[in-house]
Amino acid sequence: MENLYSSKKNKIKNLSKVFKTFLAVIILLCSGVLYAGCSRAVVGYHVKALPNKVVYQIGEKVNFEGLKIESVNNDGTYSKFNLSTENISEVDTSTFGVKKVVVQKENMSVSFDIYVANVIVNDSDNIKEILQSTNDGDIVYLRAGNYIPINSQDLSYKDIVINKSLIIVGDGMDKTKFGGNFIVGANYDGSVFTKIDNFKNVIFNGIGFELDYEVKNNFINYSGPYDNTDTNGAIRCFDTQNLQITNCSFDGYAYGVLADTMIGASITKCRFRHIQLTAIKTTTETQNSTIFKNIFMDIATNVVAFDENSAITTGAISLGFATEGQKGVLVCKNIFTRIALHDGEVVYYNNQSKETATTTDTNIFKMSYMKNSAVISMLSITTDDLRATGIILSANNYGQSLQTIYLGANGKTVSQNGVISVD
């Protein structure tokens, strides 16, 4: 009986081993099928870095040095794309215009634009005269150089009027240095701006805007013709549609970009640093615009600014909204740090700011400053409530600042309403 029991037990063990072996084979086969179905494969390409040079003169040979393309794989990884001339489409530089460059391998491709300019400017030229003689659609090439005023009386680069649809491209923010400012979408006689109706389509690319200054006796003193107050910023826009600013830097101005109305604008891959008031500001309306992958650093540091008896809003971005409804505004993947901090000696924006600050009760002054200083401010211009919708703040990185987001209307703090922050 005992032998019979032992025999049955051994048979059960043997069957168990067979079953385990069979199960292991099935798992192995299934995993092999699954692995084969999920093996790495290229699903597309993207431009990791543009060529060192993206603007050319007519007839100039194109150089793609610095161009980096990556493969995007189905497992979420990236791979190096080994470029050859066979992968890059030919570019005709015999005529001016925006030229599309296509990088292709097998049945997948990615593209980017380069510019062939018909207007060439050197830092020794009279840029105001040259730009006034341009036509709509011209591409202006600001060659590498220092477009800097030689003294406080030199107005060569101050208040340059852009009253035509132009593309203005430099050799890069570190090579084309510009110590002046542009007036976009208006004519200017030195005292009065005359707006141009339905003005649109201006592009700035690869320019380093920079004003040299020092702080003396609690005021900013510029080395050029701006004295101690910059009122227009580097790019002063009016009711301009489809403004594009890419790969530019802004340093030392009161504003990087100051606009009345900004519709269809794109500000991407720019650097803003040591801006006295606000890096990007709209005063009236903002619609269908994108602020993407920019860096904002040391903005409105120690600056005190008053307009009559109220504090001026300071920070990285301040957007105005005059109407209700969908706005289609995206602020995405930007980096912000050291925004509107007071960690040193006070710097007055202008004489009025000093007079107002010194005659205002200290506690009221501090509360006013704290309320009107933020990384991003969304302001209703005409109503008692911020009724704009369709504003998305996404994937931004926030460093040091007094407050991150301020939503206000006529000096009142309001609820978020249509502002969606997913940071």
Confidence at residue 16, expressed as pLDDT on a 0 to 100 scale = 57
Report pLDDT for 339: 92
pLDDT in tens, 53-72: 999 999 999 999 999 999 89
- Give the angle subtended at the CA of 13 by the CAs of 8 and 18, to the nearest 5°: 125
Question: Between 367 and 107, whose confidence is greater?
Answer: 107
Residue 119 has pLDDT above 90, yes or no: yes
Number of C-beta neighbours around residue 416 at 10 A? 12
Distance (Å, rounded) from C-alpha 161 to C-alpha 188?
Answer: 7
C-alpha of 286 from chain center: 15
231-244 average pLDDT score: 94
Report pLDDT for 353: 83
Burial 101-137 (b: 16+ CB within 10 A, else e): bebebeeeebeeebbbbbbebebeeebbeebeebeee
DSSP state of 87: G
Question: Is 316 a residue whose pLDDT tops 90?
Answer: yes
pLDDT of 24 reads 53
Q: Which of 232-241, 274-283, 295-304, 353-362 has the lowest mean pLDDT?
A: 353-362
Interatomic CA distance for residues 307 and 326, integer angstroms: 30
Q: What is the pLDDT of residue 29?
A: 45
Instruction: Say whether pLDDT at 141 is over 70.
Output: yes
Give the pLDDT band (50/70/90) at residue 361.
low
The band of 385, judged by pLDDT with boundaries at 50, 70 and 90, is low
Tens-digit pLDDT profile for residues 75-115: 888 888 888 888 899 999 999 999 999 999 888 899 999 99
Query: Which pLDDT belongs to residue 384?
Result: 63
pLDDT of residue 90: 92
Domains along the chain? Answer: 42-115 (2.60.40.3630), 117-421 (2.160.20)
Q: Average of pLDDT values for 203-208? A: 98
pLDDT, position 367: 47
**Distance between CA 203 and CA 44 in Å, rounded?**
28
Confidence of residue 224 (pLDDT cuts 50, 70, 90): confident
Residue 413: band (very low, low, confident or very high) from pLDDT cuts 50, 70, 90? very low
Looking at mean pLDDT, say which of 192-201, 210-219, 223-232 comes out highest.
192-201
Over residues 332-344, the mean pLDDT reads 90
| 8 A C-beta contact, residue 117 and residue 169 | yes
Kindly report the average pLDDT of the chain as a whole number: 85
Model pLDDT for residues 16-54, shown as the tens digit of each residue: 554 555 545 454 444 444 444 457 788 889 899 999 999
